[in-house]
Structure 1
């Protein structure tokens, strides 16, 4: 028997959660900060206990899961990033922070486009009996790939300029 609506694993029955738009800059900032922390040579022995509401705890764990991190690592990375000046609290963010994070998110999207075009070209070049339209598709794929590479380079340059001007400001 088919179900009436989409199934949501682990969601309580009847719970409807409003879709909260997540800005690409916020996602990119969290990913950048959480992944930057290198493993220490010594084991961490000090502990800080913090109390969260059930809702806050759920949000923290969801954010950690989204980045494939443990909750403690996620919270620790954010706290240390803030202390080192790498991550501003929402009311302390500057336009440079938003610009850099938006550029990082855009760079990821452009890279995905390039990957998809590469996969298409690889499939067409894989052999077999070529169709008459394959050469036109390959030429178009090559053009799109060149544009994706140029866009990625331009985004990297813009991000470098934004980061350099942030340090000066």
Structure 2
């Protein structure tokens, strides 16, 4: 499952804009859609990308750009105020994600949590990637990062009713704030 959400106190519209990628899920935490499900094609990474928050690696140049997302909250299907671009690459050892969240003012993003597995969900603007490894649409591993690059991960159980933050995955991330966007790479 590839799923993306961003939430935070910057504004309801900004949070909804970024969380719009939830509609891009290859599978969701709820029941599967009856209609065609949008898919992302992962590019093959001949070489692992450099972890720097910049999209100039060969795999990112080869990866199709996913964009054109719609809001899931506060108004399902509404056009977001800002675009978000996502690229996915894979090799024999890893899955790579790169996304750019366009924003009017990157300095307005809230990044108060600076400790791994801190309360990013409650206070910061963030990106979350869900991985439904059993494809049961009920349980997933989550990988969350704020704009400062602080990581949080764990498991969502029973459609997110239970959150188990004790699971710690091995993954890396880099963030970079541009003039009108925040870029992040996940490994």
TM-score tier by shorter-chain length is: under 0.3
Give the TM-score taking structure 1 as reference length.
0.23
Give the TM-score taking structure 2 as reference length.
0.22
